[in-house]
Amino acid sequence: MAIVSAKEMLFKASKQKYAVGAFNITSLVQMEAIIEAAVEKNTPVIIQTSVTPTKFLKAEVVVAIFKALAQSVNIPVCLHLDHCTDVEFCKKCADLGYTNIMFDGSHLNFEENVKRTREVSDYCHQIGDISVEGELGTVSGVEDQIKVAEDDAQLCDPDKSLEFVERSGIDLFGPAIGTAHGIYQTENPVIDFERLGKIFQKLNQPLIQTPLVVHGGTGLSEPVVRNLIEKGGAKYNVSTNLKYILMDSTFEYISAHPKEYDPGKMDKHVKMATKQRIEYWIDLLGSTGMAM
C-alpha cells in the first residue's frame, strides 16, 4: 500500500482540488523528515530527486533507503525522478524502483519531445506500475543542470497539450505557465492561471484524465498557490525552499554551537527544520488527512 505510482495518488487530488507535495531532496536526512511529516499529517507525498543528486547519492542507494522508510508507513508514498533529459537514465531509474519518471524534453522540438517521451512511457508502462511525467513549453530559471533564461521561456500551448499527452503516452503533464525554478526575481511573477485552467479542461474530460504538475513552487504567495490548485494543479513541486532550509538550519546550528563536534545533533536540528517546513506546505496544499 505505501509505495505507489504518482498517477494513482494524483487522480484523487485532481478531483478533490488539493495538491500533493512533491519535495526535492539532496540529502537522506530530508527524505526522513518528509516521510515523518507526511505520516503526522496523514497525507500522500512524493519524494523527488533531480539527476545530479540521484547520481551523487546513487540511484540504488536512494531507492533502498526510500523502500526501507516507505514500507514501514501507512500513507501512499512515491519516488520520482525529476527533470531527466536522458532516456537511458530514465529507464535505469525505473528498473531500480523509482515509481514515477519525468522525462524532460522541453528543450526539444515538439516531434522529438513526443518521440523520446513516448519511449520512456512505453518502457515504464511495460515493466510495471510506473507513471511518467512529461513537459511542454519551458519553465524558466535553473533546475539541476538545465538553465533557461526568463525571456526564452515559452509557455505551453493549450491546443498542443492534448496532442502531446495522447501521442507521448504520459500519465502526468507539466505545462509551462509562467512559474520559475529557483528564486523569483520579481515580487509578483506573471503566472498564466487562465492557461492552466484551459489545459486542465482539455486534459480532463470523460475519456482522458491527466493530472497537472506545477513546477517552480518555491516563493509563490499563498493566494497564488491556492489559485494554481483551484485551476487544476495536482502535483506541486518544491525544491529551492528545501535547499535554503537545509543550508540555513545547518549554518544556524554551527553558529550557535561553534565548539560542538556532534554531527548527529546538527542532523536532528536540520531534520526538525525541514519537517516543520514540509508540514507548512502540506497544510497549504490542502492534502492534510488525504492519505486514504
Residues noted as catalytic? 82
By CB under 5 A, is residue 215 in contact with Zn ion?
yes
Judged by CB, which is closer to Zn ion: 215, or 277? 215
Tell me the closest approach of the beta carbon of residue 235 to Zn ion, in angstroms: 10
Q: Which is nearer to Zn ion, 198 or 215 (CB)?
A: 215
**Number of chain positions touching Zn ion (CB under 5 A):** 2
Closest CA to 77 of 11, 8, 127, 132: 8
- In this chain, which stretch among 8-16, 40-48, 214-222, 226-234 interacts with Zn ion, using CB under 5 A? 214-222
- The H-or-E segment that residue 81 falls in is strand 77-84
- Minimum Å gap between C-beta 131 and Zn ion is 16
Residue in the structure block whose three cell numbers are 520512456: 120
235 binding Zn ion? (CB under 5 A):
no
Binding region for Zn ion (CB under 5 A) out of 144-152, 213-221, 241-249, 280-288: 213-221
Dist. CA 123–CA 114, nearest whole Å: 14
- Site stretch for Zn ion (CB under 5 A), options 148-156, 195-203, 209-217, 274-282: 209-217
Please give the single-letter amino acid code of residue 139: V
Residue with cell 485552467: 197
CB nearer Zn ion, residue 97 or residue 182: 182
* Residue 106 CB neighbours (<10 A): 24
Angstrom distance (rounded) from CA 18 to CA 238: 15
Is residue 84 helix, strand or coil? strand
Q: With respect to Zn ion, which residue has the nearer C-beta, 41 or 174?
A: 174
DSSP reduced 3-state for 14: helix
Residues that bind Zn ion (CB under 5 A): 143, 215
